[in-house]
Every structure is written in C-alpha cells, then in structure tokens.
A and B are shown apart, each in its own frame.
Chain A
Amino acid sequence: MNEAIVGVDVGGTFTDLVYMEPGGGDVRIAKVPTTPANQAEGFMAALAEAGVELASAANISHGTTTTTNALLERKLSRCGLITTKGFRDVLELGRRTRPRPYGLLGSFTPLVPRELRYEVAERMDAEGNVLTPLDEEALRQAVRRLIAAGCESLVVHFLHSYRNPAHERRAVEIAREIWPNAYITAGHAILSEYREYERGVTATVNASVQPVLQRYLENLRRELADGGFRHDLLVMQGNGGSISSAIAAEAAVKTVMSGPASGVMAAAATARAAGIDNLITFDTGGTSCDVGLVQGGVPDVTAEMELEYAMPIHVPMVDVHTIGAGGGSIAFVNEAGMLQVGPESAGAEPGPICYGRGGARPTITDANLLLGRLDPAHLLGVAGEAPLKAVRDAVMREIGAPLGLGLEAAAAAIIDIGNDRMAGAIRMVTLARGHDPRDFTLFAFGGAGPMHAAALARELSIPRLLVPACPGITNAIGCITADLRHDYVNTLNAPLSALDINAARAILEAQIAEGRATIEREGVAVTGIDCLHFADMQFEGQTHLLTVAISGTGVQVAELQAAFEAAYLERFHVELPEIRAVLVSLHTAVIGRRPGAPLEALAAAGNQVSVTDARRDQRPVWFAGRAHETPVYRRHLLPADAALIGPAIIEQLDCTTVIEPDNGVSLDGLGNLVIEVTA
C-alpha cells in the first residue's frame, strides 16, 4: 500500500500522466497519444505505460476535454428548453451581434433548435414579484412533448429567476415527476445572475453536456474499479479546483476549459513552493498560446468567458487569454507584403513540414528548426531525420523570396513575428489591466513555451523566467495539486448607500454553508476548508463590473467602498466621487484543501551528473542576427547546483528550453530552471 497520487490530463494531442508516491518515493511520468473517440482508452493506456498499480493508488485526478470538445464540435445531447411565454427565441436571437466586425457573412447555430423550445405562461418582474402564476398544466404538456421528441436533457429558463427562483424550482419538480431524469437544469441553479441570454446559454450548455460527461465518467469509473481502484476519481473544473466524479455531471458546465485552468494551477502551486507569488503563466503548444495571471499566489478568475462566437459561459473560471499562436502556426506573406504568423495552424496533422507528414507551409516549429533551436535528428513524435531540404525550400519560397530575405533571416523573421503576437497576448493580460510586467515572473510551459519565453521576457522587461522540471506535463501536475473548489455567485444589485449589510453577510454565509455541504457530500479527504470572497461592483449606471477581494462574513460597507475605489483607480486612473458605488453580486469560492503534492520529488527524478557531463553537444544557434556556437544540455542530467550563462539549449523528452546570450541559469530546489533575463 503506497498511497500514490496520480494526475491524468487529456490534451488535444497527448494524454499526460504524473504518478507520485508520498514521502519522496517513486515519481513516474507518461505521455501517450490521446484517443479522441473515447478518451478513457488513452487514460487507461497512460496508466499502463506508467505501470500504475490501481489497487495501491490513493487518489486519481483527471483533467478532461470531454465537455469542451463536445461543445466546439456540437456533439451534444438532444436538449429541450422550457421558457417564459414570449421568450422562446432568446437562445437563437442572442444579443444581436455578428461573428466579425466587418463582413456580413457567417452563421450561428443555437444550442437548442427552435422545435425543441416551448413556452409556458409564467412571469416574475425584476423585483421577484409574481405577475403571472406558473401554468403547471402547460408545463406538463411541454415536458411530455419534449420526451416524445426524443430529448435526453431539459433546461428550464425563466425570466428573473435569479431574483425569485420559485417558478423554476416548481417547474423542475413537476418535470421530474413525469420524467425521472438526472439531466434537468434550472437556469438559476447554475448561474444566479441577470442577463437572460448569458444565463440561458450557461444553463443550456450544462444540460447539453451532462449526459455526455456522465457517460464518459461512468465508463471510466467502472474501468478503474475493474482495475482495482478503490477510491474516488476527481475531475478538474474550469475554476482550477477539482470535484468528485460522482457529482461532477450535476454541474457539467463547470468542467469546460479545465485544461488551461489546470496549467495555471500547477504554475501557481510550483511557483508558490519556490517562494514566488506573482506570475504570468505562458503555455504554448502546437496551436494556441494561453496566458494567465497569478497574483499573491492566487490565479485571476473571470465569469465572462466566451467559448466561441455567441457562446458565453458565465461561471467562474481561471482567466486565461488565448490566441492562435503556437508551434504549428503557419507563416505567410499577405497581399500587402506583410509577414503574418497564425492564427491558422498546421495542427497535429499534417503538422509542420519538418514532421514529414505532408505539411507544405512553413510554421514556427520549422523556423525554430532552421535556427538551430531544435535538433533535426530528435523531434518529438517524428521517426528519423526531419526533411530539412523541404523546410528550407518552403521558407525561402513563401517568406524569404517575397520579403527579400536570406534563409536564416526569413526564419528569424517568422519567430520574431510569432513572438510579437505572443507578447501582445501578455500585454493584454498585464498592461491593459493596469499591471506592470516587470513585477512578475514569467512561468513557461507546454511543448513550445520554454522555446520562446526568454525572448518574450526580454521584450517585455520581465526580469525572471521559470521553467518547471516537467514543462510538458504541467496540466497533469495541475490535477494533483488542485484543491476541491466550488464557486457560488448571487446577484444583489444594491447601491452601497442603501445596502443591507446583514443581508449581504447572510448571502456569504449561505454560500459557505452550501460549499461545505458539497465537500462533505463528496467524501474526499481534505485537510481543511478555506473560503475566498469577492464582490462584483460598479458605479451606478455602468454595466461592466470590477471584481474586488473582500474579507468575508464580517464585511463592512466602508471596506467595500474603499476596495472598489482603489481597484477602479488602479485599472482606469479615474476617481468618481460624484457617483455612488453599487454592489452587484457576491461570490464565494469554498476550497477543500487537499494534501500538497511532493513537487520537490520532480527535481530528484533525473539522473544528475555534472554540468560537463550533461552537455551533449553543441551547434550553431541563431540569436540577434547571427549564429552563435551554443552548447546543448540534457535537462535530466543537470546537477542541482548547475549554473550556466547563455547562450544554451536545454533539451528534455518533450520540451526544449532556449537560453539567450548572457542570461544566467540556475536550478532551484524543486528542479525549476530559473533564468535571469538581461534587458
């Protein structure tokens, strides 16, 4: 009985696993291809690859893209909607937008087609007064029709239910009487905030993916039990916390976008263990670049995510800004003669030209190869030598010739433009929100992140860069470091001058109680329960919100006023003593702390020798306009006291770190590469 903890993250290309035994025992990692049709196959293959004894595992945490993919590919359950009379089309009409600012083409498909949307008479006003009682007979009839139409899930979405949920509750009760079904969602139960489109879509997303997630998890739980696993499987959520797989499908929408959230959680946990609290997280793989912010050890959270055009999902999620720039991003010269990189990506198939799978357009990875940053003989997942000639020809044909540049200069231009886009993403998360990048450490991971991070840090004057011990499996590490987390948001919408502070406190207390009860119901061992509280505020008359952290159930009006004014000044450089502040909603995150993962064991996983012996090779690498003869190190052979000065290339199984000339490199006690970036 070794009580090992296991994290398994399913990504677009690979399924990653990390296995750790407590007390400095064995550490194993595994990387196997993702099996898109049934992610459980890849999951089980990863367990086999790492030789995990299920009977002795104490805990398995799992990050899955099941719900995100189901939404993006619209492989959803057949879902019916019952709504307030007069509002059948809210989900189809949206907020009167178009997909792009210019161009009047494009289309939109609502989550529920019109023939599966029914109205019933009922109406609340904005104060929660009943104007029209619920027509229970019409409701029963609508439910029966949706059953007959072959629906598998149901949403009940009534106007102003965030203010008074009585009709929604009663409707769900009736629906369950005639239709015993676990997949019935009441709009207010997922998101108790105003804005009928956003609340309706969020609830509908939940109902639509519930059966999909439930089937997947049931299947996986059964396979794990058959393999001898005797504990509960935990599932990652978009808020960066985990939840018992037994109840995850109740609020299935909360598992959307959990992958990027896991990465940010791992970054926060790793940096916290290294004594660093303020981070910009930079995760770049094949197609996208995800940037997050961690302040005081806590990742920023947003409740305004839009998964794609007109699909807002307003539940609290780790705030990750994504752009289409990664190793597979395609470079081309547009008709104005401007070099562009991405957002179009060569993806995993055909992939970059250097993968030799039929890719013909140059990508960032191809450019990195030409500049000596990647080793043509050892590309991950590529058998044999990369087709260098094809890469050179394509870069000259597509980029070099049109721009009048030589081969290396053309490749360097691709990297510079790619880096500029990534730097833009970091600026939008920092400078545009009132934060100075110089106050942060850049935490780089994902297959391609550590290859570009040093250049970005230099560009943005970020003084320090951290590359974790296993950058390619960061999301899996996020699974084992994540605590249980449940978020609750309730709308108040009261000016501070008229706020009943006791009512506000009662809401916070109810949120805490609900979170505690949920953690108890999950039955997962926790070492303690912490609560974080936030207030979403605005000046009277505004529509956008600013979120501020507040102390808790003892909150005072003066504290709210001061916290809001300070946050507003920091963000907008504006003071508005003339106008009243309004408390729009209160948000509590209830966190069940799990025993920390022994991250330091990752440092010891290597087979350390000396810096000299870790040096595998040297090769010319292009920096700042010319080739530099650059030593190449094997990461797992570097000793704990290693100290280097760039230029250097540090290679490991699934990732290459590029160190620019004059940057200083050392290792910390957790095996992180710490890179001091010179301006």
Chain B
Amino acid sequence: MSDIDPVTLSVVQSGLQQVCNEMDLAFVRAAFSPVISEALDRSDGIYSKEDGALIAQGELGLPVFVGTMQFSTRTVIERAPEISPGDIFAVNDPYLGGTHLMDVRFHMPFYYQGELFAWLSNTGHWPDTGGMVPGGFSAHATEVEQEGLRFPPVKLYKQGELDQEILSIFLSNMRIADQRIGDIKAQSAALFVGERRLTALLDKYGVDLVNAVIAEMRARAARQMRARINTIPDGVYQGVAHVDSDGVVNEPLKIDMKITKRDGELHFDLSGSSPPCQGPMNSVLATTKSSIYLAMKHIFPEVPINAGTFEPLRIIDPEGTFLYAKYPRPVSGCAAEVSQRIAEAVFDALAKAIPERLFAAPAGTSGNFALGGYDPERGRAYVLYFFSGGGYGGSAQGDGLTNGCSTIGISKSQPVEVLEQRYPVLFDEYSLHEGSGGAGQYRGGFGINYTVRLRSGTARASMVMDHGRFGPNGMAGGAPGGVNRVSVARQDGVYLPPHLSKDQGIALAAGECVHISTPGGGGYGDAHKRDPALVLRDVKRGYYSREEAERLFAVVLSGEPLGVDADATKKTRAGR
C-alpha cells in the first residue's frame, strides 16, 4: 500500500486519463485525413521524461500504438540535442520506435513551472508520405526508400513556431500535400490541449503528488497483469500463424510463437520464425512488441494500460527473423498485417492454456486498398484509400461478430456515399461475404464483399491484405474462416494477383473494377454440435447454402417452408 489516500489516487489517475482522452478527441475532430477523422488511426499519450515509459494513453487510441509510442518517445529523448518549451519533434522512421512511414509521431516536451515534467506524444496516420505507391502500402518494395520519405526526429515546431523549411521538405515529397497543413495543425493542437489540461492538473495536485500517483499506478498495473497471468498454468504453449507472402517472394512467412509461463511472467520467444524477407512484410521491433502487448490486452481487457502493464511480458528480441527488421528492410506491411498475425499466434498459443478466455482467430487484416489516379471531371489527382473489416472468431460465448474492424484498429470504414462523392468511382456492391464464417458449434462472423468500379480517367490499384492463402484459424475443433479474395475485371479478362492478397500498380481504365472479399472468422468447437435450429436460421438468411449446411454442419434441411429434417440430421451426425 502506498501512502497516497485512495481517493486522491483514483482522482489523479482519472485526471491523467482525461487529459489523454481530450487530446484524442481534439485530434480526431480537427483532422483532415479520413484515416484519422473516421478511422481513428491515431493515438495520444503522456510519457515519462526519463525513458519515455507510458504514463497514460487515450482510451480511444489505435490499439497497435499502445506500445510503439513509448519506444518512439525514448528515441527522441536519447537523440534530441536540446529541447525548449514549445518544440515539437516529428518522426516517422520505422526503425526508431515506429511502425510504417505513414504513421507520423509528434513528440513535445512538457514543462511545468520551467521544469521538464513529461513528454506529450501522438501518432497520426498520414494518407501519403511519398514513395512508389499512392497511400504508401507498397506490396513490392524491397527497400524502405521506395516506401516514402523517411525522417528522423526533426523539430517541426521550434518554441511554438512551425518551421517553414522543414514543412516545405515534407510537402514537396508527398501526394495531395495541400491538406497536410490541416493535419499538422490538428496533430499539434491536440498536444497543446494536453499541455493546457496537464498544467491544470498539476496546478491542483502538485508535481510530487502526481509523480507519486504515476509510480503507484505503474506498480498496480504490473501487479494486476501478474494476477491475470497467474490464471495461466505454468508451462510452454506453442502458437503459429502465417503471412501469405512478403509480396515479392511468393512463399508463406511463418510466425513461431513459444510462450513460457513461469513466476507470474510470460516469456515470448519468436526465434523460430522466418528470416527477414525481401518484400515489405518485415516488422520493426517496436511493432512486434506492441503486437504482443495488444494481443494480451485483447485477452485481458480489464487490465489498465501503462508501462507497468508490460513489465511481466518478457519479449526476447527476435534477432535474425522478419520480426526484427533493420535498415533498409521494407516494412509497409508490418503495422497493418504482420502485427495481426503476431497477435493471432499469441491467441493460438494461449487458447491451449485458458480456452475460456480465448476465441477463434479474427479476420485479422486491415484490408488496405488504395486507388490513385487523375479525375478528369474535377481536374485533379486523387488517392482513394479504403480499408475493410471481416468476421471475428466464434468463442464459448457465441458466434463471432460480422464485419468487425481489424484486430489492431478500432476504426470505422468510410461510407460508400462519401467515397462516391469524392472520387470517380461507383460501388457495385457492399455486401455480406456468404459462407465465410468458419463452421463450428459457434461459427465465425462473416466478412464482406465489395466491388469498386472506375467511372472515368485511369487509375492504379494497390492492396496489402492477408489471409488469402490461409483462412483465420478455428479453435477447439472449429473450421477456419473463409479466405480473402481479390480479382480485377478488365476488358481483357479477369486478373488475379499472383500473391493473392497483395499487389500494386494494377492499371484500371474507366469501366473496369476491383472485387474484394474479406475473410470470415474462425469457428469454435465441433460444427456437428451446432444447434440445428441455428443452422436453419442461417440458411434462411442466406449466410450458408443448404449444401453447406449439410456438408459443414451435418444438418439436413427439407420441405416447404424449409425445416430441419431431424431424423436425417441425426443419422448424418451419427455417421460422421
């Protein structure tokens, strides 16, 4: 027990949390990039002045940034030659505590009464930072230079003043640069909101007390995480997940996850994973670690997030694998895709230890899709950037959710009506991907289908998705969810990307279209144990065909109106 009274502890803690939530809110409401304003692909927090350790982070921040921002803040602390109030460092270097180049971090030293107290940091996904593909999700890059402009920590604001020279370098290297100034101002305004609110909190409670609360909260979060970990029996748990390919070499990449539970801690050993790859599916260390953190947070959502939460999670640096990318390995797929496979490997391993807490694999792809072209009607270049959801896995608690967001995100997809208003495209459909939910006693949720048709001009389509080769895993005997599919209907025939889920620069002429089907979630438990009445309901809804009901669930349907043939079902189930 600390000597802080319990009320003050709780009130100061929620005060720190509210500072971060207000930063999140200000950023998202003022942002221009729809990836931030609609998809909430951003995060704001307060970090320690010594080593960048996480003090508090907004509750609606993008989950994958949970761990990365403390690494990024630490890099700035180590590298910054001198700092003054009002300075804001901008950095997007993936190898310096980052993700991919599009995630730009802003770091501001926060002073209270003339003394450095902490760092305020945020990350926002910019729609473009240059590179060979509009939107930055290259499928074929083999060096980071091809992925876009990379900047180390640079003082974009110097004592509160925006540095026009650095700004001009940024804007000269990015597509659709005219709106970036809006995002830069929104991102810095969020830090200024944090500065005002944190100052008010310190005015009220004083530096010493707030510091004591921060230390106490960290100790308690570590204790709480240990208590949760101790619900896992001691032992070694093996999990595995595969990335379809790296986009260049058409072979799967393996994530080999060995989790050892002992002494109230979890040790994560990824050393059996594939070596570094040529294409952009390498993961930087910050993202690899962050993916494990967020997987644990999905399993134990009740544990609060600060640096203490991560203390009992021991991650061995996976030297020599594609999960510890070093310069100049390309990394554009790490935050959006590899991160989710890492989380799935954690789920897969721990499903064997604490099945009641777990679930079959979710669709687990961000479904990044970019269409860049020139709009002859409006006379301007554009980048349409879209992402899609998929089904979640079934669990002992029931069927999986349909069209959930990515494991690493909390984002909303953009409305079709908004996209059609902004870009020269037409959606032929936006519908449920029938049959994609993995069969099981509790089935997976369903993915979606969408078709984008180009109305005028020409454009190039790129996509970085996954689970095209392997559907998301089932659990406890459940079947995998349906795979991701991409096809392009062109005048000269249908084009299928050789890497299934990844491609770039596919030329489209007016009238041609891209069709995407996203994965469903894995099923949970034996499909032959599914209540036949639920199978009938699902068939009436068109989720599955009658043939699938019989083949996957061993339920025979007949009659008009359709009903369960109880005898035939019994016989079929007994016979298998």
Contact = CB atoms under 8 A, between A and B. Distances in A.
Given A92-B402, A432-B22, A542-B32, A338 B13 contact: yes
A87 B6 contact: no
Nearest to B430: A87
B439 to A, nearest CB: 18
B319 interface: no
Interface of B: 1, 5-7, 9-11, 13-14, 18, 21-22, 25-26, 28-32, 34, 37-38, 59-60, 63, 178-179, 181-182, 185-186, 189, 192-193, 197, 220-221, 223-224, 227, 294, 297-298, 301-302, 304, 359, 362, 387-389, 392-393, 395, 397-399, 401-405, 407, 410-418, 420-421, 426-432, 448, 451, 540-543
Contact of B407 (A104, A416, A571, A573): A104
Given A96-B387, A126-B417, 10 more contacts: A96-B404, A98-B404, A101-B59, A125-B420, A159-B417, A338-B9, A417-B10, A424-B18, A427-B18, A578-B178
A194 B421 CA distance: 9
Contacts of A106: 401
A105 interface: yes
Interface stretch (A108-116, A210-218, A344-352, A523-531): A108-116
B14 A579 contact: no
A96 B412 contact: yes
A133 interface: no
A93 B429 CA distance: 12
Contact of A101 (B34, B63, B186, B426): B63
A335 B229 CA distance: 13
Given A338-B10, A579-B179, A197 B415 contact: yes
A530 B430 CA distance: 43
Contacts of A99: 401
Contact of B37 (A87, A105, A416, A542): A542
A57 to B, nearest CB: 46
Contacts of B63: 101-102
Interface of A: 85-90, 92-108, 113-115, 123, 125-126, 131, 159-160, 162, 194-198, 334-340, 403-405, 412-413, 416-417, 420-421, 424, 427-428, 431-432, 493, 539-544, 571-574, 576, 578-579
A498 to B, nearest CB: 12
22 contacts: A86-B427, A86-B429, A86-B431, A88-B431, A89-B430, A92-B402, A96-B403, A96-B413, A97-B404, A98-B401, A98-B405, A104-B392, A104-B404, A160-B420, A336-B221, A336-B223, A337-B1, A403-B6, A432-B22, A541-B32, A542-B182, A579-B178
Contacts of B22: 428, 431-432
B392 A87 contact: no
Contacts of A416: 7, 11
A416 B5 CA distance: 12
Closest 3 CB pairs of A and B: A96-B389, A86-B429, A102-B301
A107 B445 CA distance: 9
A599 B392 CA distance: 55
Contacts of A105: 359, 392, 395, 397
B209 to A, nearest CB: 15
A159 B388 CA distance: 19
A416 B362 CA distance: 41
Given A195-B415, A420-B10, A576 B401 contact: no
Given A89-B430, A98-B405, A195 B410 contact: no
A104 B34 CA distance: 24
A107 B398 contact: yes
- Residue among B14, B34, B401, B429 having the largest count of chain A Cβ atoms under 10 Å: B401
A431 B427 CA distance: 41
A104 B522 CA distance: 12
B6 A339 contact: yes
B430 A93 contact: yes
A196 B416 contact: yes
